[in-house]
Structure 1
Amino acid sequence: MDLSAGTLEIVVCAVLISLSVAGNLVLIYCTRRCIGEHLRISFVLIFNLAFDHIVNNLVVNVLKIVYASGVGLDSASCKVLMFTTIFTTSLAIWFTLYIALLYCLKLCRVVHPPVEAASTNHRKCHLVLVFALWVAGFAVCSPVLPYTERAGNLTGGNETYQQHSILNYSECKTEYRNEQLEFLYGKIFLVAIDLLPLTILLLVGFRIVHLLWEHRKATYGGIWIGDDATETEVLRACKLVLALIFLITSFWTSYFVLMHCLKHFNMYYFAPPVLTVLHSGYSAVSPYLLMFINYKIKVKVGSFCCEKEKNTVSPTAVSPSVEVSPSVEVSPYA
């Protein structure tokens, strides 16, 4: 690899790791405190998405730095690189879709209030589903492990790059040793597990836009009575979800086009850092949007960032310019 290209990739990876780890650690810390106060499925989903982002950066991008610095990767490192890339990318899409569906349902209840109160006894089902997503991600991505080796360890056959990986490292290649398996799993299945949720995610985004338009129309038409704090939070969260949908679909689509439609793009020296940004850009930007998606998380983040600047006000402190007459009774409803 050219020295300037390797240096550029190291810088890009270091910046992305710093942004992602810092943002996601703050998000995990604040979300964990919110979960301790009151368990809500939105907190659980945000916590898992942030954890997935940290795993992606601390494994994939660190290995990229190792490779770009000139240190060779052994077979174990290649297996970890390929598996973690596919695993974390798919989970990020799945959890983002889960969050979008959750807030789309909340917004639907705001715009079209149900006749009966919605049941809130589904927390165990949500927790089981979150655990099932982790298990399913491991199950669908684990077949990559036995077929990934260093290029020098592959023997014969038609050597192919892992189509779903973020970079076609020359030392890490995947050989399925079966053209049918390579086509069905390597080119169809691994793309479908991302493309299908992304398609659903876009449809959910259009539904959110339609619901927001209905809410605005009702408000300005004089029909809507007004928004309470919960409705305001849902509206703000849905707008942030739209930003998340735009980010993850644009990053994934751009990467897919560059890797699979432009055959010679990865031959340019600037290809590795560009593809790295497209792969890890969502994990670096999304935590700073997720910090404002929930009011409690927003408050925790604000208190965490301004903890040293907080001034404790004594309850006995009374302004000398304010006099309270003992003959004046204060209404309990004031």
Structure 2
Amino acid sequence: MDLSGGTLEIVVSAVVISISVPGNILLIYCTRRCIDEQLRTSFTLIFSLAWTNLIYNLVVNILKIVYASNVELDSAVCKVLMFTAVFTTSLAIWFTLYIALLFCSKLCRVVHPPVEAACKNYQKFHMVLVFTLWVAGVAVCCPVLLYTRRIEKLNTENETYQQFSSLIYTECKTEYRNDLIEILYGKIFLGAINLLPLLIMLLTGFRIVYLLWEHRKATYGGIWIGGDASELEVVRACKIILLLIFVITSFCVSYFSLVYCLKNFKSCYFAPPVLTVLSSGYSSVSPYLLMLINYKVIVRMRCFCCKDEKKLVTVSAIAPVSPYA
């Protein structure tokens, strides 16, 4: 096994797992303990995103380590690996977009308060939509299970190519029955369900930046004086959302560009660790940013990390419960 290829992929995958899995497990624990009727929508989205990241690392990255260790796996494992990778990547993008749109609307209500208080409760609608996203993710990725299979190694004279090729990218292939299916589903459809949400996410990020600028201008311009704890919490959460948008957009665009634009990149000896970092970077960074969105999660995390403290700080002691969070 080459030091720059398979071994480096194992090391990178192990590091990513060691960073991502504890963070997502802690986020799931804290979010599950903090969820209530008032904050159910935002917490459910964070909870779902954390599970998506956890599934990706426990399945895809562990199988990458197994593959890079020259362990022979069959077509069934290839199907599970490729399906999980596509499924969790799409869900991570969708849930992040959902969170960005949700907090953008909250910030809009902070900067431009409605004349009359909204009396409708859309929490049930959001719960149904979250469940629909999970079902839709399974449905749109099912053809990957059908067309993915393991390709046997070919005996070629190019020893360098065999030595540096990663098993996951050279043996697990998604081959469609004809060119039409490959173009319509493999390229256009799968590309659209990922790239279109990323584009909407970028536009949402610009909208959040504009609303934050309006909030700052109104606060210090003498037009409207802010300072309410619930409103400041929304503003802080939106700043974290901007970081999430930047991170997921950077990783996903870089990954898609290398995979789909550079055809021979997968066969390079440094491709496996690079693609592992790009595909798993967001799942490693996002849980630690999501922990900072709500005060309840922050307090729960502090209590979890400092169990020996005699007096635990309550959420109400830090800030009032936010009607926007």
Question: Scaled by the length of structure 1, what TM-score is found?
Answer: 0.86
> Which residue pairs with 1:210 in the alignment?
210
SS of the residue 1:173 aligns to: strand
> Which residue pairs with 2:121 in the alignment?
121
Please tell me the residue identity of whatever aligns with 1:170: T
* 120-129 vs 20-29, which moves further: 120-129
Aligned CA RMSD, in angstroms, stands at 1.7
Say yes or no: does 1:95 pair with 2:95.
yes
Change beyond 3 A, Cα 1:289–1:143: same
Structure whose residues are more often helix by fraction: 2
After TM superposition, where is structure 1 displaced by more than 4 Å over at least 4 residues in a row?
36-39
> Which residue pairs with 2:246 in the alignment?
246
> Which residue pairs with 1:147 in the alignment?
147
Gaps of 5+ in 1: 154-165, 314-334
Higher relative contact order at CA 8 Å, sep ≥6: structure 1 or structure 2? 2
Please tell me the residue identity of whatever aligns with 1:142: C
Q: Deviations over 1:223-268 (max 9, x none)?
A: 1222211001000000000000000000001111112222332222
> Which residue pairs with 2:221 in the alignment?
221
> Which residue pairs with 2:234 in the alignment?
234
CA shift at 1:312, angstroms? 3.7
CA shift at 1:177, angstroms? 1.5
Return the alpha-carbon distance in structure 1 between the equivalents of residues 206 and 2 of structure 2. Answer: 44
CA shift at 1:302, angstroms? 1.3
Alignment of 1:23-62 (within 5 A): 23-35=23-35, 39-62=39-62
> Which residue pairs with 1:18 in the alignment?
18
Please tell me the residue identity of whatever aligns with 2:229: A
Change beyond 3 A, Cα 1:168–1:66: closer
Q: Identity over the aligned pairs, expressed in percent? A: 72
> Which residue pairs with 2:77 in the alignment?
77
> 1:79·1:149 contact (CA, 8 Å) conserved in 2?
yes
Return the alpha-carbon distance in structure 2 between the equivalents of residues 167 and 296 of structure 1. Answer: 44
CA shift at 1:120, angstroms? 5.0
> Which residue pairs with 1:269 in the alignment?
269
Q: Deviations over 1:150-169 (max 9, x none)?
A: 1139xxxxxxxxxxxx9962
> Which residue pairs with 1:133 in the alignment?
133
SS of the residue 1:149 aligns to: strand
SS of the residue 1:80 aligns to: helix
Please tell me the residue identity of whatever aligns with 1:292: L
Q: Deviations over 1:140-196 (max 9, x none)?
A: 00011111111139xxxxxxxxxxxx9962211122111100110011111110001
Alignment of 1:177-216 (within 5 A): 177-216=177-216
* 90-99 vs 5-14, which moves further: 5-14
Return the alpha-carbon distance in structure 1 between the equivalents of residues 4 and 212 of structure 2. Answer: 48
Say yes or no: does 1:280 pair with 2:280.
yes
> 2:52·2:91 contact (CA, 8 Å) conserved in 1?
yes
> 1:176·1:182 contact (CA, 8 Å) conserved in 2?
yes
SS of the residue 2:170 aligns to: coil
Say yes or no: does 1:311 pair with 2:310.
yes
Change beyond 3 A, Cα 1:171–1:204: same
Question: Scaled by the length of structure 2, what TM-score is found?
Answer: 0.89
CA shift at 1:222, angstroms? 1.1
> Which residue pairs with 1:157 in the alignment?
none
Rg comparison, structure with higher value = 1
> 1:73·1:171 contact (CA, 8 Å) conserved in 2?
no
Change beyond 3 A, Cα 1:32–1:38: farther
